[in-house]
Amino acid sequence: MPEFDSRGTFQKAANEYTKIQDAFPEVIRDPLLADMAVKEGDRILDLPCGTGDAIVRAAKLAGPTGHALAIDISPSMIEEAKESAEAAGVKNIQFVVENMDEAQFDAAAYDIVVSANGPFFASDLKAFLVKMWGAVKPGGKLVLMTLGRNFLTPISGVFLDLAQNKTEDLRISIPWRVTEDILFLRTLLEEVTNKQRVKITHRDVVMDYKTADGGWNLLMGTAFRGYTLEMSAQNQAEIEAEMKEWMQTNRVFSATCSFNNIVVTKDDA
């Protein structure tokens, strides 16, 4: 797996990803909305927006005088987001299917620019952050969420061991490792934002998935789904069965995730 296939992974994972957002709102959506602190009339950019769990609620808070631009590489993710917006009666969102490296948007046009668990998928992290920071209005804010050093432990490690043992020449490429280091993040953002104050909050969250089926669905709703794209159908089925057996045998029905929530506010002009 020399290069992580973001589009293919999240096309397949969209449905499970939506279920994770619904089951664990306190993991991503709620902390993100707290950091965004949306006000009436705010203009918001969300890239990548995923299935829209946060941006739909943010746009509703921004009200009819506000506006949101939501971009994601996966058409399936965007379709899920559109359905959520329609169900919530939210009409002030423009949805766009686009690669995050090629996405176009106005400079200095947004009160809030947000990217949750997505920056590490950029081909050039610094260039992506420069572009996102450039979209923030004076007095506006950049809101990021990245994964910490624990991502679905212990089941993630068990899954990767089984995957490599079962599948010949399966290479492990973990994009989010680039943003695990808090010192690296702070230093890079201070450079990108010309020494603006960077606020980083670390969180560790326990996700209780209750059953072996729930644990498998949790894995398949995340970037780990991408490794199954490299496997035969038989290997996928065997690994799913072995993972569920491991969870049942060891009575492991929860996983720990760590996150770094980041807010940088741009000085007024």
Determine the structural domain holding residue 111 and report its residue range: 6-148+174-206+259-265
Q: Which pTM does this prediction carry?
A: 0.90
Lowest mean pLDDT segment, chosen from 97-111, 166-180, 254-268: 166-180
* Domain presence at residue 228: no
* Domain presence at residue 117: yes
* Domain presence at residue 28: yes
* Domain presence at residue 114: yes
**Alpha-helix runs per DSSP H in the chain:** 6-23, 29-36, 53-62, 75-88, 125-134, 155-166, 182-192, 212-220, 225-228, 233-250
Confidence of residue 2 (pLDDT cuts 50, 70, 90): very low
* Domain presence at residue 135: yes
Asked if omega into 175 is within 30° of 0 (cis), the reply is: no
* Domain presence at residue 26: yes
Does the pLDDT of residue 12 top 60, yes or no? no
* Domain presence at residue 25: yes
Side chain identity at residue 57, one-letter code: R
Give the mean model confidence (pLDDT) for residues 105-128.
Answer: 95
Looking at residue 209, the DSSP 8-state letter turns out to be -
Write down the pLDDT at residue 11: 60
| CATH number of 39's domain | 3.40.50.150
CA distance 133 to 142: 6
CA distance 81 to 52: 4
Q: What is the number of structural domains in the chain?
A: 1
